[in-house]
């Protein structure tokens, strides 16, 4: 559909693509629903269930989605997972398990670093699954199986809707294989994803807040930190990448507990620190980390899940299932990066030095 690749009334593709995220989640529910459930094809379920270990291979934002995927396959389905950066894996292969299954995550399906790994593992005789937005892409054609993201064309160089689509599809796959192998599950993923779609919409409807946060925290910042623990740590890596790519502000994502092992030395008067607090069992610890950086002059913005918020937090996220929090917590980070880039007059859709898909190793 032509409207998919036109900006319409939007000033930027990135804004349009962020806005599409609730629709993308709903499309994924539709594409993968079977009766009351969401699931994937039987041959993919078998391949996942037979593997003794999954190796997720990806780059950039797709790698960050893979880090969340690991949590899903391990916590929901009980399958051990390793996540590797494609460009490292190919030339420094770890010892592999007896029955590995390789999962390539790639929005474009054309990333050369990922493809060289696919070529190598095929030579070794291993099976592969590609999770991609582009049907018929190289990684999709060359792998044994494909799961599609159904996110529609993503034009902006900074990936947004593909990230949430990747996480949602990985959740569906992990949930489906858990059901297949008889794991007792205490939640209904289809229903929880519908709640996520509404939650993302709520955040998008309040974008003005994110514009204000970008103005307050990042207008003159030279650097910024994103901290979190557990899944929030994975999302903080993505928040930092978004900000770097489009606003050129130097940014780092950090595990909250790791700060005191070095990075806290960089905190000065006014350093912006974005802290995610969506995971109950580490809520107190991340609050502690915030106190540590504030005591050293940081300008902290806490993004907390509803029910875990405290007075003074700068943003409260609509409640979703604890495993699915990355799908909502990343959205304010995307929007904050977008507005920070706008305030700094950067070319949001086509940041300097970057290409949408990197087809050279
Ligand atoms: C994301 O904002 C980046 N532009 C980049 O990191 C991207 O995610 C990476 O190059 C991987 O691309 P792919 O998903 O198409 O393989």
Q: DSSP letters along 78-136, please?
A: ---EEEEEHHHHTTSPPPP-SSEEEEEEESSS--HHHHHHHHHHHHTT-EEEEEESSTT
Tell me how far apart the alpha carbons of residues 343 and 169 are, in angstroms, rounded to a whole number. 34
Active site residues: 356
Residue 261 DSSP label: G
pTM of the entire predicted model? 0.97
Helices and strands (H, E) in the chain, number of each type: 13, 12
Residue 30 burial class via C-beta count within 10 angstroms: exposed 0-12, middle 13-18, buried 19 and up: exposed
Å from CA of 183 to ligand 1 middle: 33
Asked if residues 246 and 356 have their Cβ atoms less than 8 Å apart, the reply is no
Distance 9 CA to ligand 1 centre (A): 26
Report how far residue 120's alpha carbon sits from residue 93's, in angstroms, rounded to the nearest whole number.
10
Residue nearest to atom 6 of ligand 1 (CA): 60
Rounded mean pLDDT of 146-175? Answer: 97
ipTM: 0.98
- The finding on whether 155 has its CB within 6 A of some atom of ligand 1 is no
Q: Evaluate: CB of 131 within 6 angstroms of ligand 1.
A: no
| Residue keyed to tokens 């950067």 | 346
Residue 45 CA to residue 41 CA, distance in Å, equals 6
What pLDDT is recorded for position 3? 67
The minimum-distance atom of ligand 1 relative to the CA of 358 is 10
Q: What is the pLDDT of residues 268-299, one digit of tens each?
A: 999 999 999 999 999 999 999 999 999 999 99
| Torsion of the alpha carbons at 112, 115, 117 and 123, rounded to the nearest 10 | -140
List 131's β-bridge partners, or say none: 105, 147
- For residue 91, the tally of other CB atoms under 10 A from its CB is 10
Distance 210 CA to ligand 1 centre (A): 24
Per-residue pLDDT, averaged over 316-340, amounts to 98
Q: Which helix (H) or strand (E) holds 255?
A: strand 250-255
Confidence of residue 4 (pLDDT cuts 50, 70, 90): confident
């Amino acid at each position: 559909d032509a409207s998919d690749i036109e900006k319409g009334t939007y000033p930027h593709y990135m804004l349009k693509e962020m806005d599409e995220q609730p629709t993308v989640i709903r499309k994924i529910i539709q594409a993968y629903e079977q009766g009351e459930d969401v699931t994937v094809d039987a041959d993919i379920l078998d391949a996942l269930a037979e593997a003794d270990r999954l190796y997720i291979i990806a780059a950039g934002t797709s790698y960050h989605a893979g880090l969340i995927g690991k949590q899903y396959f391990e916590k929901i389905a009980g399958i051990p997972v390793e996540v590797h950066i494609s460009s490292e894996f190919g030339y420094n292969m770890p010892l592999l398990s007896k029955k590995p299954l390789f999962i390539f995550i790639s929005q474009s399906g054309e990333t050369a670093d990922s493809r060289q790994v696919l070529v190598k593992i095929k030579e070794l005789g291993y099976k592969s699954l590609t999770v991609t937005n582009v049907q018929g892409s190289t990684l999709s054609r060359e792998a044994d199986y494909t799961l599609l993201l159904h996110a529609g064309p993503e034009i902006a160089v900074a990936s947004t809707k593909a990230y949430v689509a990747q996480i949602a599809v990985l959740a569906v796959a992990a949930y489906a294989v858990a059901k297949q192998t008889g794991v007792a599950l205490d939640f209904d993923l289809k229903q929880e994803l519908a709640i996520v779609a509404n939650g993302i919409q709520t955040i998008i409807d309040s974008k003005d807040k994110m514009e204000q946060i970008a103005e307050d925290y990042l207008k003159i910042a030279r650097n910024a930190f994103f901290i979190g623990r557990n899944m929030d740590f994975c999302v903080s890596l993505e928040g930092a990448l978004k900000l770097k790519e489009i606003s050129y502000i130097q940014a780092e994502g950090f595990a909250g507990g790791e700060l005191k092992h070095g990075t806290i030395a960089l905190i000065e008067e006014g350093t912006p620190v974005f802290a995610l607090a969506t995971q109950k069992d580490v809520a107190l610890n991340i609050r502690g980390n915030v106190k540590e950086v504030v005591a050293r002059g940081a300008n902290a913005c806490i993004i907390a899940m509803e029910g875990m918020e405290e007075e003074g937090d700068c943003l409260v996220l609509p409640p979703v299932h604890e495993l699915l929090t990355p799908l909502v917590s990343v959205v304010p980070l995307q929007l904050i990066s977008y507005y920070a880039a706008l305030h700094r007059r950067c070319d949001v859709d086509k940041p300097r030095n970057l290409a949408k898909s990197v087809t050279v190793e």
